[in-house]
Structure 1
Amino acid sequence: MTTRLAVRARWALIHEDGGPRIVGDRWIVVEGDRIAAIAGDRPGGVDVVVDRPNLFVLPGLINLHNHVFTESLIRGRSEDLSKALYETNLVYGLLMPFGQLAMQHLSPTECEAIAEFGLMQLMKSGVTTLMESFRAGLTDPFVAAATRAGLRFYAGPYLFSTPDLDIDAEGKPTYRAGSGDADAASLAEWRALHQRHNGGAGDRVRVILSPHATDTCGPDLLRATRRLADEIGCLATIHVAQSREEVEKSRQLHGRSPTELLEWTGLLGRDALLAHCCFSSDSDLDIVKRFGATVINCPRTFARGGVTAAFGRFHDHGLRTVVATDGYVPDIISELRTAGMVSKLAANDPGVATAAQLVDAVTGQAAAALGRDDVGRLAPGARADLVAVDLGGVHVAPVVDPVNALVWRAHASDVWASVVDGRLVVGEGRYLAGDEPAIVARAVAAIDKVTRIGESAGILGRAK
């Protein structure tokens, strides 16, 4: 039987006449997995009703870059580092070693507990679609957690030429050259995972290509990724110019910047999503623009290291620019606020990175980056992915413009309800797929286990 659901909106961000606009006092009516109508009167014959006086209803928020697993493992250990430690140690001295320890010592059930812990936090901030990249061995636990949660999930099992970079006492990798055997093994594992999971959970689960970075994937693997993307017709995402050292190593090894390397190997295209690009030159960004690729801006993860990752720089360069959490703080609403503030400071201009641009970055622009027109908008016939945010709190009122209020004053705790494919997944601010305290307890126990192993292995000593 088809479920009918209705959400009362004091304000709604609907898609009409070719673009988004705010309307007042509407009911968003859902039948099955689609938006059936946007009506002025309360509909009859409804199975589920979400009704609260000051709800702002907008398309479900789309988060296209995240690593909640590894970031959860080092929570509380990546802030207030020295500049030298942050630049040399965060990725290769903490994130990757802790991820590897977890893979070696945790059971699939424990890995799934950490995955659900992170997904729950994101969903409670309004995320209905998530692109998550992780080591290939975590695919089954992540897909299981995302399926149970009801999330629309783009899984990105990593491709590596050099999956186990030698790390010295200072946390620096040696950047060993990749081998054809390593490339082939990584691609074969990806194909198997794609066959097993792509299209699962009523097509809410998709498996995409995720070569890790230009310093861990050789040119042959990047070329093979492009061939596979064309063969299967799927998206590809990769870290690009996320550190000065990566840019320097790319020039030393290949005589090209990371972006030029992607151009040379053919990976760039409208189906390519490039995470960070913090240390990309303007000429690099010109290349990205020419190929129509998307830049994923994750400002807060870099701000903790004193690095400016300004949404406004990429957006004003004419690039499709989306905002994502990178896993550091799994809260997409506060990430939007950070993106705006960092951009205004970087440009010394309060008019850049407006609330409307930032909300568009995680709705319409993010949907375009996915190559979809059935998500990222509220309109009859679109997928019933939506979020309802309560703007009635003292920290928000009075509301002059709900988009402005959402970005500059609202919190994740103001998310009252979220719907994915017509199913209520967050209700009255609660995650509905499981018991929240129990999920936290299971995850913390697994994280503590990895921490103890990391302490014994001397990994944590590198972060001091």
Structure 2
Amino acid sequence: MIVLEGGHLATVDALDTEYPQGHLVIDGSVIVAVGPGPAPAELRAGAQLLDATGCLITPGLVNTHHHLYQWLTRGLGQDSTLFGWLSELYPVWARIDADAVHAAASANLGWLALSGCSTSSDHHYVFPKAGGDLLEATISAALEIGVRFQACRGSMDLGQSAGGLPPDSVVEDREAILIATEAAIDRWHDPAAGAMTRISVAPCSPFSVTAELMRDAAELARGKGVRLHTHLAETSDEDEFCQQTYGRTPAEYLADLGWLGPDVWLAHCVHLSDSAIASFAETGTSVAHCPTSNGRLGAGSARVQDLIRAGVPVGLGVDGAASNEAGRLVDELRSAMTVARLRGGPQSLSARQTLRLATIGGAQCLGRDAEVGSLEPGKLADVAVWRLDGLGQAGCVDPVFAWAFSSSTPLKLLLVNGRGVVAEDMLLTSDVGRLAREASAASARVLQR
């Protein structure tokens, strides 16, 4: 058993219960007790006692949208909008292979863990013919780093010759996509409680995927009992593309394809109408909010407060490291609050609302809110402990605000399934120097091809 005591405990339960000097008890991979003050004597006896005085204890953070392979192309397309950025990078991504993707994913997931991320999704949609098993490359990296992983088997079948944005060299045949996606589900998806690896079905976007593939993908996912994910309404260019190509907005197009529902979460959703937000709320469709990436590409600011008020589940996403070079999930809290307040004023998004986005909101997006996302007895022991006793947070009267509005809070401990992944800002599961060297070498190889 592990007993954490003395820290400010933010449970993120339904009542947002907090204990200024609380305790958290873990038995194996499960939380068994949470409450004020020291743990009961019978739970402390024989347990590993960890002093969290001066710390904030939160659930491990949940990253709802990412592209791990993009670690290979950081710093490119620095001043481009999304469509220009993609047009520059598609030909580079056509050169990736399994070795490069594994190096990128390992470094990226290690960096995410160091920012308090215990669960991450990954949306991989570029599969060069001679690239090898790229999905396996990301999954094996997640197993090495030790984070919970939602691998999204993405796809593109609408190339430039058919009116799409990506060059024909990076798209796949629709039938081949469906066969490969079903095989990935059969091989890797673990539906059991506490699973470390799950698969979702994730055609890329309205401007890179045909309507036929979108419908077939939804049928496949629902037949297999897995979740659906895609990009939506990220930029005004996408809105214009959908209006010209399909005669409707991106959200209307997705609704017509049967792509709204409690098994769907959508990335970005910057450009939404009131009716789109209402339809998301009515159908239980979730949104992955990626504030830093949206700013990096000048896409705009999502209507996060309107989504929350409507009852739409919202989580946070880092997005790919080539559109968010910082790559730290904890930084997205500050970005989310800042962007929301620029849009709607200082009461638009509070620190505790943002904490919910980063934890239980993200867990809802991934369909795992019964297991992770809050610190409650019976839930999995995915726990982050943050140091607030240093110079960066000194004198701030509210520990949650001090942490959420800071981008430099040291991570004392990250547990996933009760297992240590990070301690005192050091990755325990892999050597960060090796990860950096291998990722840098892989990036150089891809760029030189």
Same fold (TM over 0.5): yes
5 Å-filtered alignment, 1:35-54, equals 35-38=31-34, 40-41=37-38, 43-47=44-48, 49-54=49-54
Residue of structure 2 equivalent to 1:325: 318
CA shift at 1:410, angstroms? 4.6
5 Å-filtered alignment, 1:336-375, equals 336-347=333-344, 349-372=345-368, 373-375=370-372
Q: Deviations over 1:390-441 (max 9, x none)?
A: 1112121224222111111252x51111111111111121111111111111
Aligned residue for 2:421, secondary structure, equals strand
CA shift at 1:269, angstroms? 0.5
Residue of structure 1 equivalent to 2:91: 97
Alpha-carbon distance change, 151 to 351 in structure 1, aligned in 2, over 3 angstroms: same
Q: Deviations over 1:40-86 (max 9, x none)?
A: 33512124x4334311111111110011321x22222243x1xxx42
Q: Deviations over 1:168-213 (max 9, x none)?
A: 9xxx93788x99x922210110111111111299721001111111
Query: Are the counterparts in 1 of residues 30 and 418 from structure 2 also a CA contact under 8 Å?
Result: yes
Matching of residue 312 in structure 1 with residue 312 in structure 2: no
Letter aligned with residue 33 of structure 1: S
- Measure the CA separation in 2 of the matches of 1:9 and 1:34: 20
CA shift at 1:317, angstroms? 4.6
5 Å-filtered alignment, 1:198-213, equals 198-199=189-190, 203-213=195-205
Q: Deviations over 1:297-319 (max 9, x none)?
A: 11111212333223334334542
Aligned residue for 2:19, secondary structure, equals strand
5 Å-filtered alignment, 1:260-409, equals 260-310=252-302, 311-327=304-320, 328=324, 329-347=326-344, 349-372=345-368, 373-409=370-406
Residue of structure 2 equivalent to 1:447: 443
Matching of residue 245 in structure 1 with residue 242 in structure 2: no
Letter aligned with residue 406 of structure 1: W
CA RMSD after TM alignment = 2.5
Matching of residue 86 in structure 1 with residue 81 in structure 2: yes
Alpha-carbon distance change, 87 to 143 in structure 1, aligned in 2, over 3 angstroms: closer
Aligned residue for 1:217, secondary structure, equals coil
5 Å-filtered alignment, 1:132-143, equals 132-135=122-125, 137-143=133-139
Gaps of 5+ in 2: 128-132
Alpha-carbon distance change, 92 to 364 in structure 1, aligned in 2, over 3 angstroms: same
Letter aligned with residue 61 of structure 2: L
Letter aligned with residue 102 of structure 1: I
Query: Are the counterparts in 2 of residues 166 and 174 from structure 1 also a CA contact under 8 Å?
Result: no
TM-score with structure 1 length normalisation? 0.87
- Measure the CA separation in 1 of the matches of 2:215 and 2:147: 31
Alpha-carbon distance change, 218 to 315 in structure 1, aligned in 2, over 3 angstroms: same
Return 200-209 or 365-374, whichever deviates more.
200-209
- Measure the CA separation in 1 of the matches of 2:309 and 2:77: 30
Query: Are the counterparts in 2 of residues 175 and 215 from structure 1 also a CA contact under 8 Å?
Result: no
Residue of structure 2 equivalent to 1:419: 415
5 Å-filtered alignment, 1:139-218, equals 139-162=135-158, 165=160, 173=165, 182-199=173-190, 203-218=195-210
- Measure the CA separation in 2 of the matches of 1:174 and 1:68: 19
Q: Deviations over 1:345-399 (max 9, x none)?
A: 122x111111111111121222222333121111111111110011112121224
Alpha-carbon distance change, 15 to 255 in structure 1, aligned in 2, over 3 angstroms: closer
- Measure the CA separation in 2 of the matches of 1:243 and 1:450: 28
- Measure the CA separation in 1 of the matches of 2:6 and 2:316: 25
Q: Deviations over 1:102-122 (max 9, x none)?
A: 13xxxx333211111000111
- Measure the CA separation in 1 of the matches of 2:76 and 2:17: 42
Letter aligned with residue 130 of structure 1: S
Q: Deviations over 1:286-338 (max 9, x none)?
A: 32222221111111112123332233343345422222111313211211101
Query: Are the counterparts in 2 of residues 9 and 28 from structure 1 also a CA contact under 8 Å?
Result: no
Query: Are the counterparts in 1 of residues 112 and 327 from structure 2 also a CA contact under 8 Å?
Result: yes
CA shift at 1:167, angstroms? 12
Number of equivalent positions: 430
CA shift at 1:165, angstroms? 4.3
CA shift at 1:20, angstroms? 2.0
Percent identity, aligned pairs only, is 27
- Measure the CA separation in 1 of the matches of 2:446 and 2:6: 44
5 Å-filtered alignment, 1:57-76, equals 57-70=57-70, 72-76=71-75
